[in-house]
Structure 1
Amino acid sequence: MKKVSSVEEYIEENAHFGDALKILHDIITATELEETIKWNAPVYELKGKKVVGLGAFKHHFGIWFFNGNFLKDEKNLLYTAQEKTKALRQMRFNSINDIDRNAVLAYVKEAIENQKLGKEIKPDKKKKETVIPPELKDHLSTNKDLKAHFENLTPYKQREFCEYIFEAKREMTKQSRLEKITPMILKGLGLNDKYKNC
């Protein structure tokens, strides 16, 4: 599908469901939501927060509710698109005759109210704790410059180095790994940086 810059273009590109998409579009735009195009499809927002989106596919079309998990879904109209999807829900239709305008409007209004109430799944802010192996701790304590560079690394890079030392079974291997990572830490590199740019 070509890049679209308006809802009209999106409806044209999905002409097989054109009339049905116009109906859904009219229902949504009768509310206070603001229309925009994101991910090459119409998205409707409230004060910059995504509330619903229109979607058309080969055999069905529908509305995405970005925080649909909070909808009561009394009419049992919502689908979870994928198992890993926590918040996103879809109201799916196969033909224009499947659209119950009153039900669609009620769900959209509920989604708007939920957004006003701030109902949304917040990203998990729990940070993984970095456990520094004793060998690395000793190594850092004897070299202030190295310690400063290590502390300036991202937590992810710090954990990579710590796990690299922890994984070594023999003391000799731990020491050779410490020697290997010392110049990397001083350069601000992560353990696997050279592979990430391939």
Structure 2
Amino acid sequence: MNAPNPEVDVFFENIKKWKAELEQLRIILRDCGLTEDLKWKQPCYSFKGKNICIIGGFKDFCVLSFFKGVLLQDKAGILVKQGENTQSARIVKITELEQITTLKATLKAYIFEAIEVEKAGIEVPFKSNDELVLVEELQTKLDADVTFKAAFTALTPGRQRAYNLYFSGAKQAKSRLDRIEKYTPKILSGKGINDCTCGHSKRMPTCDGSHKYL
């Protein structure tokens, strides 16, 4: 078993919800020989610098997330997509400690399979940006406004996906239209949804909220 990471120790000292479940997942992951780090504010486990899994808690469940879960065989049928637009990652939803005990051998088998995927250098065949299915209201805006379309298509694929994901997250058509109109100036200026527009961010191009303290 690999040594624990002090930063992850602090993480577990400060959490209350799903603590027992996440601690058990931590033991299993370290027992599989993975290196433990704290990334994106969550315990993350890697093999020779390649991310394998990350764990975390939500309101109704905690998860063991495989970065390249889509490449696993999933013989037990326990992997699910966390979001509609997720391409690579797959998660195991955990709702009780007993579930981890029952699945321990299966989880280890999945982890070792994920390690073998990295050893083999297999990559996820991500869909190209041309295959991005745009929310209807955004597509309508693109078809009706040549200037807006030129600005949107000039954005990087990642920025386009981020906008589309945010716009599609609104349940009502009016809310989706409101979001599109609100961010139209930012799109026209060539900025991503999380990009800084004031120029004061210390984490350019990402906005870190520095403008709030001016």
1:140 aligned residue: none
Please name the residue that 1:121 is paired with. Answer: 124
Report what 1:88 is aligned to.
89
Structure of larger gyration radius: 1
- C-alpha deviation, 1:9, in angstroms: 2.5
Match of 1:112 among 94, 111, 115: 115
Distance 1:122 1:76, change over 3 A: closer
In structure 1, C-alpha distance between the alignment counterparts of 2:61 and 2:13, rounded to whole Å: 16
> Could you tell me how far apart the structure 2 residues matched to 1:71 and 1:49 are?
16
Please list, as runs of the form range in 1=range in 2, the aligned pairs for 1:120-159 lying within 5 A after superposition. Answer: 120-121=123-124
Partner of 1:9: 10
Verify the 8 A CA contact 2:71 2:124 in the aligned structure 1: no
The CA deviation string for residues 46-98 of structure 1, in whole angstroms up to 9 with x for no partner, is 12211101111122112110000011111111110111111100011101011
- Superposed CA deviations along residues 110-159 of structure 1, whole A, max 9, x for unmatched, are 111111111222566899xxxxxxxxxxxxxxxxxxxxxxxxxxxx98x8
Give the aligned residue type for 2:36. E
Give the secondary-structure state (helix, strand or coil) at the position aligned to 1:74: coil
Confirm or deny: 8 A CA contact 1:53 1:63 kept in the other structure.
Answer: yes
What's the offset of the Cα at 1:32?
2.5
Structure ranking higher on relative contact order (CA contacts 8 Å, 6+ apart): 1
Counterpart residue type for residue 79 of structure 1: V
Report SS of the residue matched to 1:35.
strand
Contact 2:65 2:92 in 1 (8 A): yes
User: Which residue does 1:176 correspond to in 2?
Assistant: none
Aligned residue for 1:72, secondary structure, equals coil
Q: Which runs of 4+ in 1 moved over 3 A?
A: 122-127, 195-198
TM-score by length of 1: 0.59
1:36 aligns with 2:37: yes
Structure 1's unaligned 5+ residue stretches are 128-155, 161-191
Q: Give TM-score, length-normalised by structure 2.
A: 0.55
> Which segment is superposed worse, 116-125 or 6-15?
116-125
SS in 2 for 1:79: coil
Partner of 2:52: 51
Distance in 2, Cα, partners of 1:39 & 1:65: 15
Matched AA of 1:119: I
> In percent, how many aligned pairs have the same letter?
29
SS at match of 1:78: coil
CA spacing shift, 1:126–1:91, aligned 2, 3 Å = closer
Look up the match of 1:76: 77
Q: What amino acid does structure 2 have at the position aligned with 1:22?
A: E
